[in-house]
Structure 1
């Protein structure tokens, strides 16, 4: 058993999952990124302590159902595969807090995502999404949603009913007009660049904007909000991975 309870088999050109890994019953982190995997063995179910599973940059056309038996999973990376949908069994992962499904073949965001009640971060960029399900508003723990590089022609209405969101990224879509976001008290960052928009989204004071006309004056807060004491946070919200500065 690895001392740090982690196994990293990334970039090994694996075509089959090495079964001996399933003998590490106390494994917490398993990285299988950047291989040639398209299925996983049922023996993976033995890893019931697994909290982080990275399956990104593989050849999965469907999420192996055995993944949905790993009920302690907190972080699941599925980006850069060939997924067109997600199974209903994903709802069994009620401890999931981070889900990355970017760069797949999703034409819609599967409704099952709305059943992941503890989800804090959702990365669904670079798919073919036209809209978002109304049930997304039930995810009251969700703080960050990345939707860049999709086919959104309108700003998703459901996001206007999610006051707890801190980061919204709709960069590289087809949005022509933005509604006001000034009523979202939790919002810290909105990224809307590379849209054919005619206006910038209105935001409350202190909210960072990345996009055209971002230098416009934000909307003032309501008088009732000005009278309240607010906690200050010196940390700026993080940019999505594809917006991070690259090393020289």
Structure 2
């Protein structure tokens, strides 16, 4: 079905037109996974919420800005992909999914998160890249099992000290923000394995050699005058990365492809079905 036809049909609320977009939702998918990505949906049919045994729900690359309250009935849902949509607010129903562990919200229009997000005690992976955040969403600091946080390509200028409470956090991705200084709270987070502050405004990097869990630091595309000093075996991606710490000369920046390869090695978690893709 072409996107032009889907787009036109999406405006028609009749049941017949909705079946044309999403198919006949009568039986639980055998793998307990429902993928409705790229269907030009403007609303999620309630029929998609009757599968109470559903584990994964992909709604990426649509035109959704709300979700029906019935979504909260998906009590066994572990993965929800809402990236590449039109959400300006996170639907309340999402905060009532007790087993949710992976939530993709990238490429929307979010500028804040509700306090109810703290109810997602099992959440370990949160993608918020390419939204409209100007302030770090404080409620994230109340997610005790969070291991991976993607907040790249927003307009964030600083991180709260409460972030250090996330003792399970292993990777934080902050590329493309407005950080003028390396966040001091990260210096207290010895358990971090990946720190990405690529494409910010950081002019000076403090020593990171005391971070015993660190495996990868990405600091490229900053107006820095020094590379971060790291411990033995830690991979650096950025200017002077290949030079000894006491001889910052030349340009040791890594190619984007190499960076991606290293990131993949450090972080094997699942990515949404349309991650990094545009609308057809």
Q: Taking structure 2 as the reference length, what is the TM-score of the superposition?
A: 0.79
Query: Which residue does the alignment assign to 2:85?
Result: 58
Q: Are residues 1:108 and 2:108 paired?
A: no
Residue 78 of structure 1 corresponds to 105
SS of the counterpart of 1:112? Answer: helix
Please provide the CA RMSD for this pair.
1.6
Higher radius of gyration, 1 or 2: 2
Match of 1:6 among 23, 28, 33: 33
Cα displacement (A) at 1:238: 4.0
Are the counterparts in 1 of residues 163 and 185 from structure 2 also a CA contact under 8 Å? yes
Specify the alignment match of 1:132 in structure 2: 159
Matched, 1:198 2:218: no
**1-side partners of 2:68 and 2:267: how far apart?**
36
User: What is aligned with 2:115?
Assistant: 88
Is 2:177 the partner of 1:150?
A: yes
Summarize deviations over 1:56-103 as a string: whole Å, max 9, x none.
000000000110000110000000000010000000000000000000
Encode CA deviations 1:10-47: one digit per residue, 9 max, x unaligned: 00000010111111010000000000000000011110
Partners of 1:204 and 1:218 within 8 A in 2: no
Distance 1:33 1:96 in 2: 19
Asked if 2 retains the 8 angstrom alpha-carbon contact of 1:172 and 1:195, the reply is yes
Q: What are the equivalent positions in structure 2 for 1:219-230 lying under 5 Å apart?
A: none
Match of 2:14 in 1: none
* 2-structure distance, mates of 1:46, 1:200: 50
Gaps of 5+ in 2: 1-27, 247-263, 272-280
Tell me the equivalent position of 2:190.
163
* Pair 1:33 & 2:60 matched: yes
Q: If the length of structure 1 is used for normalisation, what is the TM-score?
A: 0.89
Q: Which runs of 4+ in 1 moved over 2 A?
A: 216-219, 238-241
